[in-house]
Chains A and B, each alone.
Chain A
Amino acid sequence: MLRRVFVSGVSWTYLALVYAFIFLPVAVLVLFSFQDGRLPVPPFNGFSMQWYEAVFADRKLMAALSNSMLVAISSSVVSCVLGFLAAYSLARYKLPGSALQRGLLIAPMTVSYLIIALGLLALLNALHMPLSLLTVGIGHVVINLPLCFAIIYASMGDHQINIERAARDLGASDFKVMALVTAPMLMPSILAAFFLSVTFSWDEFIIAFLLSRFDVTLPVEIWSMLRSGLNPKTNAIGSLVFLASVALLLILEFSLFGRTKKQ
């Protein structure tokens, strides 16, 4: 009995300590985004919204925010479409060398983002192609395509084949089958792939840093803010991004994925 109490005491203490470790930086980040003063470190001088106002007044930061959204959404759409088509082809047709093709499509997952970015940068430089949001987007499709392909491919079960065959027998073309039968059946995993890829692209730094020049994404803009040292404005934009992501996560948890689980 005493031993049980001891074990559970140790367990809960451990749990509390690790949670404290995990939450410490986030708590400090959010708390000092409200700092009434120029330094986001103790002592806390009192609540102020001035740094949030500064964030919304910062045109460069707001431009970076919309650049990030543009790159994240468009690169994720491209990744999902290409990944879906490839998954459909590899799951439904027996092509020679299909194991090799799967390997090729998954390969970028095993390589560091830094190396992917350097390779693209070297090639773009050699071809004298200018760096822009487009090149960032191309890089983000490279890292997200394996992910989207793998998720969608894994969810393409054999049980859907008969339904697709029925649609084809009734005269539907391949594209009609894909758009009206396969895609709706796989919608949960397509959406999961899409949102995961949006998250990855949104948060990605090194590719966006190396492959952009004048228009930059949010992580790159935050990176250049760091050069001025500790600054409550950085806390404010960091907290905003965090809260927005958590809100998105909760919406997904309760609407999309919650519903599919019940079905």
Chain B
Amino acid sequence: MTATTLEDADRRKAWGFAAPALLWTLAFFVVPFLFMAAMSLWKREGREIVRVWNLDNYARFFSENALLQGLVNSLEITVIVTVLSVLLAYPLAWIIAERVPKRFQRMALILAILPFWTSYVVRSYSWLLVLSKNGVINQMLTGLGLIAEPLEIASTRTATVIGFVHFFVMLLTLTIYSNLIQLSPNYRRAAADLGANAFQTFWHVVLPLTLPGIMTGAFLTFVLCIGDYVTPQILGGNNELVLPQIIMLQLGRRADFPMAAALSIILMLAVTVAYVLCARWLKIERA
């Protein structure tokens, strides 16, 4: 009898401790999200939001080329950025883990991610200084006589991709490095004993073993990249809008909150599909 009452008291206490965090998440994350999902099924008429359930916003997304193109642009840019970032970051992480002497590795890693600590908005702005018409790259190239006319890099997709790749190379170097460093040297020794050369060892042993780390990093890149508004807005400008830019446009000039909500749901679905596609490689749980 005493035991059960104690248990009840414990249970009440446990709920009491967890309650504030759970309620916060419910009130400010779950409820707003459900409200937004409901709103995506409403309609804007003039300045008013009419609460009639319909699928018009989603129908409009698939019939209006400008909107659908936003998703296509987002997906294209995100895939290009993810692939480029992995291809650039893996060798860097590998060189730091394998070539740089042990006692300098931590420093090399800190250096490689130092620009992470510029503020996010400022980082994109800095690339504008480098890429704009009278920016560093163009002035250097014209100064050297390599080009006559300055290149139009700013306000293009290329600029967006460069800005993104810069950010994600730092992120991926960190995740891939921590993966490489955890590999037991025994695997490589075994491969060498069995007669594999350096390339074969890498291709058949090291790469497959680091694949989960790569996929986790790549998925993170995908999620952060496809949902970002700042980099495409500053660097890509108003050409080839991506989905977050189109969402923000609905909010601003058009005040079409239901459409913005519908587009957000579509953005989330894209992330969910990406998750399902790489789920079998992802190991996010506690080891």
A residues neighboring B (CB under 8 Å)? 8, 11-12, 14-15, 18-19, 21-26, 28-29, 32, 39-43, 82-83, 85-86, 88-90, 92-93, 95, 101, 104-105, 107-108, 110-116, 118-120, 122-123, 125-126, 138-139, 141-142, 145, 149, 154, 174, 199, 202-206, 210, 218-219, 222-223, 226, 230, 234-235, 237-238, 241-242, 245-246, 249, 253
Contacts and interface: CB of A to CB of B under 8 A. Distances in A.
B169 A82 contact: no
Given A11-B99, A226-B234, A119 B112 contact: no
A108 B118 contact: no
B129 A114 contact: no
User: Most chain-A CB neighbours within 10 Å: which of B118, B251, B268?
Assistant: B118
Contacts of B244: 112, 114
A8 B99 CA distance: 8
Interface of B: 10-11, 13-18, 20-22, 24-26, 28-33, 35-36, 39, 88, 91-92, 95-96, 99-100, 110-112, 114-115, 117-123, 125-130, 132, 134-136, 139-140, 166, 169-170, 223, 226-230, 234, 244, 247, 251, 257, 260-261, 264, 267-268, 271, 275, 286
User: SS class of chain A's interface: helix, strand, loop or mixed?
Assistant: helix
B15 A95 contact: yes
28 contacts: A11-B95, A12-B99, A14-B91, A14-B95, A15-B99, A18-B169, A22-B112, A23-B114, A23-B115, A25-B129, A25-B130, A26-B114, A28-B126, A42-B136, A88-B17, A108-B29, A110-B271, A112-B226, A116-B29, A116-B33, A118-B247, A122-B39, A141-B28, A142-B25, A203-B119, A219-B119, A222-B119, A235-B129
B139 to A, nearest CB: 5
A105 B21 contact: yes
A119 B20 CA distance: 20
B13 A93 contact: yes
Contacts of B127: 25
User: SS class of chain B's interface: helix, strand, loop or mixed?
Assistant: helix
A90 B14 CA distance: 8
A105 B170 CA distance: 28
Given A95-B15, A245-B118, 19 more contacts: A11-B95, A25-B123, A26-B115, A28-B130, A29-B125, A41-B134, A82-B20, A95-B11, A104-B30, A114-B244, A118-B264, A119-B35, A122-B35, A122-B36, A142-B29, A145-B24, A154-B286, A222-B125, A246-B117
B132 A230 contact: yes
A189 B10 CA distance: 26
A28 B244 CA distance: 28
Contacts of A119: 29, 32-33, 35-36
A40 B92 CA distance: 31
Nearest to B99: A11
User: Most chain-B CB neighbours within 10 Å: which of A111, A115, A174, A218?
Assistant: A115
A41 B22 contact: no
Nearest to B120: A203
B132 A245 contact: no
Contacts, number: 227
Nearest to A68: B119
Contact of B230 (A112, A202, A206): A206
A168 to B, nearest CB: 11
Contacts of A123: 31-32, 35-36
Nearest to B113: A22
A107 B25 contact: yes
Contacts of A126: 35
Contact of B25 (A15, A28, A29, A104): A104
A105 B32 contact: no
A40 B129 contact: yes
Given A8-B99, A41-B134, A122-B261, A142 B24 contact: yes
A26 B127 CA distance: 9
Contact of B125 (A8, A14, A234): A234
